[in-house]
Amino acid sequence: MKKIFPCVEINIKKITHNTRVINEICKSKNIHVVGVSKVYCAKLPIAQAMLNGGIEIMGDSRIENLKKMEHLKCRKMLLRIPMESHASEVVRYADISLNSEINTIKVLSRAAKRVNKIHNVILMIDLGDLREGVLESETLENVKEIIKLPNIKLCGIGTNLTCYGGVIPDSDNLGRLVKLKEAIENSNNLSLPIVSGGNSSSLYAVLNDTIPSGINQLRIGEAIVLGRETAYGNKIPNCYSDSFILKGEIIEIKDKPSVPKGKIGMDAFGKTPSFIDKGIIKRAIIALGRQDIAPEGLNPVDNCIEILGGSSDHLILDISRCSNKYKIGDVVDFNMDYGCLLRTMTSPYVKKYYLD
């Protein structure tokens, strides 16, 4: 089959392999993995690859993506705090949702009651990263309200770290989460089966055996698709980091100066660029731009290539040092970081091809 560029080649076997490896690592510590599908927009071949690797719950931040996975044989979790206006859809498409607002949980209660369903909620606790979650001091008060609501089951507590404030999960903050779980159970005579201890940034603590006993769930996306934990960016042993390869076609090659001529103002994105004078260089343009990718998140497979920058539709490369004599129509391969992968998989202008 002739490929259309730009495109992403997605290696399904590598994703299944990474999922299986990470699932087994976590299972050895009595931790269940929720497979997070948001970075690839819940595209079904990739979600199924995670299920084939042993995942039993799929999680996503968008109701639209949970709808895509409606017929997959697994439980579904809504990761972003629900909007009240989406309550009916949350109850329909998510078996579990992460929550931090009592009023929203009350709306979910009414929505669940209308369709005679029990909706499971995990109460999110802010342990210092300052994204979502109730304060630790307010947790018991919130729990007392939640457990009174009809058609709502409080199935656990959770937290999110590193995504906003960069706070590293450790034995202190995750240990406080475990103690909160114990306090909730003791003061309300109930059992909380889930203590959801964060995302791929918590994996380093699993790998070095410092994650507190009692953390029994992690929500893992980036570690599976890119093969690395996200607290320090270290590669996970026996995992692939190249499950996704971005491919772009060269549309221009010219020898040009390395510094623009004229008075420098703002670029198309409101930034004032700066340049290093390297004389005349061989510049290549790829038919890819910031509408599809984040240039700063790209890493050319040919390490002789330097990325100079990009506009909405053009990616500018310095190929002066390359032994490969690139020509018009050649295809250049790139690895991507999480932010770039997120944008690329969301872009309708980048074709997706699955390798199996």
Domain map (residue ranges) of the chain:
12-226, 244-355
> Would you list the DSSP string of 214-268?
T--EEEESHHHHHSB-SSS-PBPTT--S-SEEEEEEEEEEEEEESS--S-----T
- Report the pLDDT value the prediction gives residue 275, as an integer from 0 to 100: 84
- Report the pLDDT value the prediction gives residue 209, as an integer from 0 to 100: 96
CATH number of 12-226: 3.20.20.10
- Report the pLDDT value the prediction gives residue 276, as an integer from 0 to 100: 86
Q: Average pLDDT of each block of 10 consecutive residues along the chain (356 residues)?
A: 95 98 98 98 98 98 98 98 98 98 98 98 97 97 98 98 95 98 97 97 96 98 98 97 98 94 82 86 97 97 96 97 97 98 98 95
Residue 295 in tokens: 């240039």
- Report the pLDDT value the prediction gives residue 165, as an integer from 0 to 100: 94
- Report the pLDDT value the prediction gives residue 122, as an integer from 0 to 100: 98
38 is catalytic: yes
Pinpoint the alpha helices (H) of the chain. Answer: 12-27, 44-52, 63-68, 87-93, 102-114, 139-146, 173-188, 203-207, 222-226, 338-346
Q: Which of 38, 113, 282, 351 is catalytic?
A: 38
- Give CA–CA dist 203/199, Å, rounded: 7
Q: Output DSSP code: residue 328.
A: T
- Report the pLDDT value the prediction gives residue 84, as an integer from 0 to 100: 98
Domain 244-355 has CATH 2.40.37.10: yes
- Report the pLDDT value the prediction gives residue 266, as an integer from 0 to 100: 79
Q: pTM value?
A: 0.95
- Report the pLDDT value the prediction gives residue 319, as an integer from 0 to 100: 98
Determine the residue type at 15.
Answer: I
